[in-house]
A and B are shown apart, each in its own frame.
Chain A
Amino acid sequence: KKTREALNFSVFKGREIDEELFEELEERLILADIGVKTSLQLIDELRKETKKRKLKTSDELLEVLKEKLKNLLSNYAGELRTENSPSVILVLGVNGVGKTTTIGKLAKQLKDKGKSVLLAAADTFRAAAIEQLEVWAERADVRIVKGSEGADPASVVFDAVQSLKARGEDILIVDTAGRLHNKDRLMKEIKKIKKVISREIPGEPSEILLVLDANTGQNAISQAKAFKEITDVTGIVLTKLDGTAKGGIVVAIASELKIPIKYIGIGEKIEDLRPFNPEEFVEELFS
């Protein structure tokens, strides 16, 4: 059904290493949204490696680049920490990136692993956000705690935590409203939500996931910086990788901000969530 438009990396096969090759590679990295700064840096390092290791062909050079990226990313790939019971996962991100959908998918996976999962509908702002999460709760067959539209999100979270503790359930996943990272008032709300959680369950949330849309360009760095500044982001979920966007911005984020990448979203269905695999991701970047 879908025809993935290949970036056609085969044009780099069997060539000599020259200035033109470096330029084309640089273009390719930028086109994958790896970011100008990080791309220039990578190309710089490749130039040095070429000299040092006396590389001759483009194939050798490509392998070095791939290794570099794989190493970089594998340092920042991580699993979800949900050993604590109860544990709380707080999900954050700008508008429309896929937070609610990701929560539905994640709830299902955790439930299938035998955990009891509760969802908190703390997006009380966007029209029908609560009902959207309700549908996902039904699909994943997990419980949901909700407030009324316009209610204080922190109070919904408080209620959810009480409910979680009362029932002795394992994991609470908190859905929050989309918020732009440059809006102070909305960003501060996150602190309040987090405070409620850690006051009621010391040591939690054990995961604060930042959801990023793979279609996003350089702005994703600004997003990651701002969210990291306001709270301890523990991992990234990169959504919408089923499109043609390469999501290369996570390379820049891993190298600049050192935030681990935990999951990728590859569709709108409940099963379309995978653990992040650096090897595969890099191969995809170059497919």
Chain B
Amino acid sequence: MFDALAEKIQSAIGKIAKKGRIDEETLNKGLREIKLALLEADVNYKVVSDFIKDIKEKALGAKVTKGVTAVQQLVKIVHDELVKTLGEKAEPLNLKSKPSVILLIGLQGSGKTTTSAKLAKLLKKQGKKVLLTSVDIYRPAAMLQLKKLGEQISVPVFLEENEKDAAKIAEDALKKAKKEGYDVLIVDTAGRLHIDEEMLKEAKEIKERIHPDEVLFVSDAMTGQEAVNIAKAFDENVGMTGIVLTKLDSDARGGVALSVKGVTGKPIKFAGVGEKIDDFEPFYPDRVASRILGMGDVVSLVEKA
């Protein structure tokens, strides 16, 4: 029943854990193991420190459920706190306008174009009339990539391949969407660094010209410690309403979820779980919490007890 983390904590704590309450000594030893586990899962160092402080307050003196050990109880407290931080349950898209506009932003290679197509297919299945557009005027064959994905899912893709003004393409796409009665316009953008001021300005400009209902920040689940700086810069310089976590089909522990959610406060709405267009699902905080802690059964064990 025990998983790696619980075992590590157990061996760090030794016999003290037999007591009915979580005392300070038990806690400190346990928290060190938890801190290392979170860092190994790529949660940002500063986020970890704050998180551990919170946990300490919550866990000190907590009563241990009958039938489980203090270790299991501690892991459960951490898990629940993680789920809470991650947002309890998946938040749906908030699409109010007609047509509604979804703008995708993020670093190079994070999965924006793929996610655009995945979203289009999802919304189409819900009966919506969807238009895709790419305003990536930089990356070789970026527009063609979206065009091909659009063909795969029979969703029209609006392109202006010779236009050199990204915001203008977005505006033209929106005009078309309005005129032709589309329900949703999805705008794929070029990858950009969070420290490239000119490119951030471009993203902001696109956003201001088309007033998106949702600005989704697309983040790679394998990202390391820099995730907080990246997410923060995009949020401050462009603005976002939600997050999509891609490549969760990797074996990455996905601590980036906690970092990005923690620093922006914006909900994580979807998870990309593969290269295929159907590999897309709502974000499940509890699954990712277990994954970050590298654990399986402890939580359900405590819940059942």
Contact = CB atoms under 8 A, between A and B. Distances in A.
Interface of A: 1-5, 27, 30-33, 36-37, 94-98, 125-129, 131-132, 134-136, 178, 180-183, 213, 215-220, 222, 240, 242-246, 249, 268
Contacts of A128: 141-142, 144-145, 147-148
Given A94-B250, A132-B141, A217 B110 contact: no
A243 B148 contact: no
B291 interface: no
Contacts of A95: 109, 111, 247, 275
Given A96-B109, A218-B224, A3 B255 contact: no
Contact of B45 (A31, A37, A183): A31
A249 B226 contact: no
Interface residues of B, number: 48
B144 A131 contact: yes
Nearest to B259: A217
Given A36-B36, A95-B247, A215-B226, 13 more contacts: A1-B198, A27-B45, A32-B225, A94-B222, A95-B109, A96-B108, A215-B227, A216-B220, A222-B251, A242-B193, A243-B107, A244-B226, A249-B224
Contact of B148 (A127, A219, A245): A127
B56 interface: no
Contacts of A242: 193
B28 interface: no
User: Interface of chain A, helix or strand or loop or mixed?
Assistant: loop
Contacts of A5: 195, 229
User: Interface of chain B, helix or strand or loop or mixed?
Assistant: loop
A243 B222 contact: no
B138 interface: yes
B22 interface: no
A221 to B, nearest CB: 10
B275 A125 contact: yes
B39 interface: yes
Given A136-B140, A180-B247, A244-B229, A1 B196 contact: yes
Interface of B: 36, 39-42, 44-45, 107-111, 138-142, 144-149, 152, 193-198, 220, 222-227, 229-230, 247, 249-253, 255-256, 275
A243 B226 contact: yes
A213 B111 CA distance: 14
5 contacts: A2-B195, A31-B225, A132-B145, A219-B252, A243-B195
B250 A219 contact: yes
B247 A245 contact: no
Nearest to B140: A135
Contacts of A243: 107, 193-195, 226, 230
A6 to B, nearest CB: 11
Contact of B39 (A4, A30, A98): A30
Between A5, A125, A182, A217, the greatest number of chain B beta carbons within 10 A of the residue's beta carbon is seen for A217
Between A95, A131, A244, the greatest number of chain B beta carbons within 10 A of the residue's beta carbon is seen for A95
Nearest to A97: B109
Contact of B197 (A2, A132, A215, A246): A2
A98 B140 contact: no
Contacts of A127: 144-146, 148-149, 152
A4 B144 CA distance: 33
Contacts of A244: 194-195, 226, 229-230
Contacts of B195: 2-5, 243-244
A245 B220 contact: no
Nearest to B43: A217
B222 A216 contact: yes
Between A134, A219, A240, A249, the greatest number of chain B beta carbons within 10 A of the residue's beta carbon is seen for A219
Nearest to A30: B45
Given A128-B144, A218-B40, A268 B138 contact: yes
A36 B48 CA distance: 13
B42 A218 contact: yes
